[in-house]
Amino acid sequence: MTICAYVTFDDPDGNDDERELVLASWREAGIEGRAVRWDDPEADWSAFDAAVVRSVWDYVERRAEFVAWAHRAGSVTKLLNPAAVIEANTDKTYLRDMGVPIVPTHWSSGDFPQWDEYVVKPAISAGAKATIRTSDRAAAKAHAAKLEAEGRTPMIQPYLDMVEAEGETSLLYFNRVLSHAVRRNPMLAPGQTQADLARAELRTPAPDQLELAEKVLAEVSGDLLYARVDLVRLPDGRPVLIELELTEPYLFLSHSEAAVGNLTRALGELL
């Protein structure tokens, strides 16, 4: 019997609604899955054939500890995604080094372009924490300076109005094969609730989005059990990368009948 850890966090509110879908699919494929907290001091990671990093949604405030755990766990079992991938992907400065078009980004509170609206966020974040949207240039600069004073790298970007009409397109890949894609609601649109942010609908990616997503994945070497490529369009219509999620992305598994099976099949291929 193959035994795999489903790596999670202390989740008293039950926010991870994909865990039971995944564990059930694993059971059908002959994989015993056990949910284990990444920071459980009693966990023996060497007892697992693989450890699949999933809902580790508390890592942001403890990133150094989390990355150190990933390297330790990866030294005694097959960690998916690998520790080196996790270390790079949990700091969004990786976007600076990718050879693909990204949302225009300025990385300091120094002089930055004039835009109608700004989004300012830290390079290490999740769920829009410490993120603001403002048309006030002084407020954008002040928030970026505050992040710098805290020892964090700011990201200053233009707010793209067209995402409110088109939304973000997220392409989900399992073992580098496209499984499904969804249209997501923009996180910073006025009036959005947490429930709105969880909603999505299946979308057929356009050829230019597929082409860009493949180029994005080609920038990362090694095993990738899962990858979520988040794309938006600039005002001129060109698709650009907003984020490459390789650590703990929500996978929208309930939005496609084949999705959870695709994920399980990809895991079997990598074991």
Query: Over the stretch 161-204, which tens digit does the pLDDT of each residue have?
Result: 877 778 899 999 999 999 999 998 765 545 444 455 557 889 99
| CATH superfamily of the 92-100+164-251 domain | ATP-grasp fold, B domain (3.30.470.20)
Task: For residue 6, give the H/E element and its range.
Answer: strand 2-8
Q: Which residues of 191-217 are buried (b: 16+ CB within 10 A; e: fewer)?
A: eeeeeebeebeebebeeebbebbeebb
Q: Which fold has domain 2-86?
A: Rossmann fold (3.40.50)
Q: What is the CA radius of gyration of the chain?
A: 19
Q: Which amino acid is at 135?
A: S
pTM metric for this prediction: 0.92
* Residues counted in the chain: 271
* pLDDT(125) > 90: no
Strand partners of residue 231 = 169, 241
The residue among 186, 249, 173 whose CA lies nearest residue 217 is 173
Number of H helices, E strands in the chain: 8, 12
Neighbours of 121 (CB within 10 A): 22
Domain boundaries, given as residue ranges, for the chain: 2-86, 92-100+164-251, 118-158
For 18, list phi and psi in degrees, rounded to 5: -105, -15
Query: Over the stretch 32-43, which tens digit does the pLDDT of each residue have?
Result: 999 999 999 999
